[in-house]
Amino acid sequence: MQSVPVYFQSVLHIPSVDYDFYTVPQKNACLALKDQRSFWPRGKGLGGSSNLNAMFWQRSNQHDYDKWAELSGTDDWKFDNILRNFKNIEDYHGRYYNEKWHSKGKGGIYVSTVSDNKLRKEFFEAGKEMGYPTEDVNGHQNPSFSGLDTSIKDGRRFGTYPGFLEPILSRTNLNIYRYAHVTKVHLHKVTKRAYGVTYKRHGVVHFVRAKREIVISAGSLNTPQLLMLSGIGPKAHLESLRINCLIDLPVGKNLQDHIGAFVGPFIVDIPGTTNVISRDFTTNTLTDYFSQHKGFMSMPPGANAVAYIHSSLSKQRGNITNKSPDIQLLLIPSTSITLTEIFEKFTNIKNGLIKKYASGLRGNDSFLINVMLGKYYSRGEVRLASADPLDKPILDPKYFSHPDDVKIFVDGME
């Protein structure tokens, strides 16, 4: 596993660690991307996508969980009840520790706050001018501005494998089969209860029967794929692929993704205000990292602060105190797009576009704001490409198919 935070993009597109998914061509978005297809990395191996994500540690808003509780008819999903689970999975060592919201010293994902302060004070002051406080967005997550929490320990990526699996490897009731690909969950014909799984390992097909239960944790894309391959999903779709539909459910529907875009770069006149890779990456950078696990290489890709705010559309619809913010902003006090070939490769941007866009920026202090939709009205879907479990699923987020998404996104950029 590649554990140096600043080089997270180096493991993308590598078949042994990344499923390397792409969406279908998008009609209303991704115009700068090759074939208008968005690249969706998904992690393989022990630890899954935590081995290659950007290490940002962000909870959702309490109102989202309370809404889930209302929809499901059970108080188990209420934020006040689920908070203990948030605390149980983290070992918090960030700047916002408060025992009401966080826990530390009990294991789980190690969480720290990015130490880089470049432009963070100015970012917070801008938030105050807009009427937003500076506070812990991973606490109550009121609309606010905050330093960025990340899953990084001693300058190294800290994912779910070291957080949860590695500490219990010696358990006698735990068996781990690497290089195993589950192809089907078997259901009882009458009761429809899952009783076993088929998996393929080193070219050999195996079946294992469950004594108690089966837990599927294949993520938001591979989980619906596996369910549909097993006969759980939309009947018409499954039967079109000659898969016997055992349970007719809208599996794969309601796909949502927090689409984002970089705004900027904005050039800063004062040298040293931001991180300029061509200027600031020196032998001292390597020394700081490998001797003390600090400095530029110990930080996630660029960002050091975050904000959650309400769009004008959200405010117009009223009662913002009882609903979650719909825009997320990330402060990136550097311009990694000057590394044109690397940036184009891991984002699937058309060749030469970034070089043209970033012309004249090299060596200049500048920053970006990554604007993301926190509340997404468009709804996409995951479908099967075939009945072959090894074929990649068809992913269609249907970006900007709902007009409100465009309005909110433009509002966030402004």
Using the predicted structure, report yes or no on whether residue 313 has a pLDDT greater than 70: yes
Q: What is the pLDDT of residue 321?
A: 66
Q: Which positions ≥6 away from 355 have C-beta within 8 Å? A: 340
What percentage of residues in the chain have a pLDDT greater than 90? 61
Stretch 350-368: mean pLDDT: 80
Strands (E), 245-379: 247-248, 253-255, 260-267, 305-309, 327-332, 366-373
Task: Round to whole Å and give the CA distance between 263 and 318.
Answer: 27
Q: What is the pLDDT of residue 35?
A: 95
Question: Which tens digits make up the pLDDT trace of 282-304?
Answer: 888 888 888 888 887 888 777 88
Task: Round to whole Å and give the CA distance between 402 and 378.
Answer: 5
H or E element in which residue 83 lies: helix 79-88
Q: What is the pLDDT of residue 59?
A: 87
- What separation, in Å, do the N-terminal and C-terminal C-alpha atoms of the chain show? 39
H or E element in which residue 208 lies: strand 204-209
Question: Which tens digits make up the pLDDT trace of 68-110?
Answer: 999 999 999 999 899 999 999 999 999 999 999 999 998 899 9
Q: What is the pLDDT of residue 221?
A: 96
Q: What is the pLDDT of residue 121?
A: 93
Stretch 267-275: mean pLDDT: 83
Using the predicted structure, report yes or no on whether residue 169 has a pLDDT greater than 90: yes
Q: What is the pTM of this model?
A: 0.90
How does residue 411 score in pLDDT terms, banded at 50, 70 and 90? very high
Using the predicted structure, report yes or no on whether residue 391 has a pLDDT greater than 90: yes
Q: What is the pLDDT of residue 290?
A: 87
Using the predicted structure, report yes or no on whether residue 61 has a pLDDT greater than 90: no
296, 6 in Cβ contact below 8 A?
yes
Task: Round to whole Å and give the CA distance between 228 and 238.
Answer: 7
Q: What is the pLDDT of residue 337?
A: 55
Using the predicted structure, report yes or no on whether residue 66 has a pLDDT greater than 60: yes
How does residue 319 score in pLDDT terms, banded at 50, 70 and 90? low
Residue-averaged pLDDT of the chain:
90
Task: Round to whole Å and give the CA distance between 104 and 118.
Answer: 27
Task: Round to whole Å and give the CA distance between 358 and 344.
Answer: 12
Residue 189: which of 246, 248, 249 has the closest Cα? Answer: 246
Q: What is the pLDDT of residue 256?
A: 93
Q: What is the pLDDT of residue 339?
A: 59
Stretch 374-403: mean pLDDT: 95
